[in-house]
């Protein structure tokens, strides 16, 4: 049994939100309230950027109604950021803020880059001899974190996308005359997990139903093959519905999109345009009507079409993070572990942050059919349990009722800090 560590806890969110990121926040707060060694429960506004600026709020003062309401509220309730801790001054400032507010437990919800940040903060605290327990909470719609079976946020995004694909297919089916190509662009920078998830839209009794073609970042793109693929579909079907991941690359590994000139603080290209690229190819090479749409941010905010299984697992991950830290664990991330039994059961485990930081889990090649544009049963078996159940969102006067945290600010104790450009 680890020695009890008395002090305050701090939870923050980072990177792109998901439909269930706030469920993890609710899990952290709900569990932290159960442990006397955690004296105050603080939230960091806008990730590490807010921590640097000492923008902390008192989460223990929030009503239980608000904490419960986080589970059906989209977006990052604490605010998020893509700020990269670069300088020694940045890292020293984080510890300075932690010491000033007696932060002894730090929970960071985020993806690859966020877990790298958590890992570096944890190791710095150890080096400086500051007693701090750091646990990462997994979060990304991309489903590309290594060591975990899947990530909170993924089940909901593919539930929404698959639902949208079925609805778009119904629309296209009434308009196409073997001459309509509809391209749907979805998120997914380096891995095709999200695009692959669209395959759940297919009807079990009709393997030829939409989506007809799925183009993944893992499979090098060929313009010639694409035109052949679309032609084959239109010979049989009234329309061709194509799904493409934003990170689609050619045989040389270059993004096919022309809209990837800028990059974020972590050096990731800002993608977008793969769908329009495929639309233009179809229209220029075939006598068809071609359209493209980007599901955009709606993919990660659609709580009205979120997965209950996903939300429950996100909440469970937040709870597990607190329990692990109180038990003495640090420098770890909560992972989701799938049961080996026939029925689907999800439990939590832990993995070193250093193993997760900046790694990328690609879609297994064995889950992609030989045609390169469809998924086989192994993927369906993996993904289907993740989209089960629906979240009950309260409505009033026909509109969903989301919650806003009161965000009572914690008094600052330090001088102002200037962020690096």
User: Annotated catalytic sites, by residue?
Assistant: 142
How far apart are the C-alpha atoms of 306 and 165, rounded to whole Å?
Answer: 15
CB atoms within 10 A of CB 294: 18
> Which tokens sit at 209?
């139903």
* Interstrand relation of 103-110 and 133-138 (parallel, antiparallel or unpaired): parallel
> Which tokens sit at 105?
């437990």
Judged by phi (left if over 0) then psi (alpha if -120 to 50, else beta), residue 285 lies in alpha
**Continuous segment of H or E residues that includes residue 173:** helix 154-173
Query: Is-contact 40 9, C-beta < 8 A?
Result: yes
Query: Is-contact 138 333, C-beta < 8 A?
Result: yes
- Helix or strand or coil: residue 2? coil
How far apart are the C-alpha atoms of 20 and 314, rounded to whole Å?
Answer: 6
How far apart are the C-alpha atoms of 382 and 315, rounded to whole Å?
Answer: 21
**Helical H segments across 39-111, by residue range:** 47-52, 64-69, 88-100
Task: Tell the residue number behind the tokens 């998924």, with chain if given.
Answer: 375
Q: Is the peptide bond before 211 cis (omega within 30 degrees of 0)?
A: yes
| Nearest residue to 7 (alpha-carbon basis) of 98, 136, 97 | 98
| Nearest residue to 303 (alpha-carbon basis) of 9, 11, 20, 2 | 20
What are the Cα distances from residue 335, in Å, to 317, 349, 385?
Answer: 8, 5, 17
DSSP class of 365:
G
> Which tokens sit at 77?
């309730």
| Nearest residue to 90 (alpha-carbon basis) of 134, 51, 130 | 51
Query: Is-contact 116 50, C-beta < 8 A?
Result: no
Judged by phi (left if over 0) then psi (alpha if -120 to 50, else beta), residue 211 lies in beta
Task: State the distance between the two ends of the chain, measured CA to CA, in whole angstroms.
Answer: 44
């Amino acid at each position: 049994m680890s020695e009890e560590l008395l002090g305050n806890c701090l939870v923050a969110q980072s990177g792109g939100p998901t439909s269930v990121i706030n469920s993890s926040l609710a899990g952290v707060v709900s569990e932290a309230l159960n442990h006397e060694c955690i004296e105050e429960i603080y939230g960091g506004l806008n990730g590490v950027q807010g921590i640097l600026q000492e923008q902390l709020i008192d989460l223990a003062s929030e009503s239980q109604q608000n904490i419960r309401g986080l589970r059906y509220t989209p977006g990052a309730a604490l605010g998020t950021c893509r700020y990269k801790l670069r300088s020694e001054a940045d890292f020293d400032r984080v510890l300075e803020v932690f010491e000033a507010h007696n932060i002894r437990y730090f929970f960071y919800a985020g993806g690859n880059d966020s877990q790298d940040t958590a890992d570096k903060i944890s190791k710095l605290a150890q080096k400086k001899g500051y007693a701090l327990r750091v646990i990462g909470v997994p979060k990304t719609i991309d489903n590309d974190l290594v060591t975990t079976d899947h990530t909170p946020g993924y089940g909901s995004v593919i539930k929404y996308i698959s639902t949208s694909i079925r609805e778009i297919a119904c629309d296209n089916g009434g308009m196409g005359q073997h001459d309509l190509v509809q391209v749907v662009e979805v998120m997914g920078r380096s891995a095709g997990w999200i695009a692959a998830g669209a395959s759940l839209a297919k009807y079990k009794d009709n393997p030829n139903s939409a989506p007809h073609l799925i183009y993944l970042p893992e499979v090098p793109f060929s313009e010639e093959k694409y035109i052949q693929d679309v032609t084959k579909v239109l010979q049989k079907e009234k329309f061709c519905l194509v799904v493409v991941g934003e990170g689609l690359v050619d045989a040389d590994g270059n993004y096919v999109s022309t809209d990837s000139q800028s990059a974020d603080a972590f050096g990731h290209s800002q993608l977008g345009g793969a769908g329009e690229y495929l639309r233009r190819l179809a229209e220029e090479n075939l006598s068809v009507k071609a359209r493209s749409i980007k599901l955009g941010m709606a993919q990660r905010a659609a709580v009205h079409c979120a997965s209950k299984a996903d939300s429950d697992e996100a909440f469970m991950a937040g709870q597990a993070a607190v329990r692990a830290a109180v038990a003495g664990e640090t420098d770890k991330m909560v992972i989701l572990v799938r049961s080996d039994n026939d029925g689907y059961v999800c439990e939590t485990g832990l993995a070193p942050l250093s193993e997760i930081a900046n790694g990328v889990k690609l879609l297994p090649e064995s889950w992609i059919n030989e045609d390169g544009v469809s998924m086989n049963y192994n993927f369906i078996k993996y993904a289907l349990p993740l989209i089960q159940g629906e979240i009950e969102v309260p409505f009033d006067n026909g509109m969903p009722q989301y919650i806003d945290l009161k965000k009572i600010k914690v008094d600052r104790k330090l001088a102002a800090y200037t962020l690096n450009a």
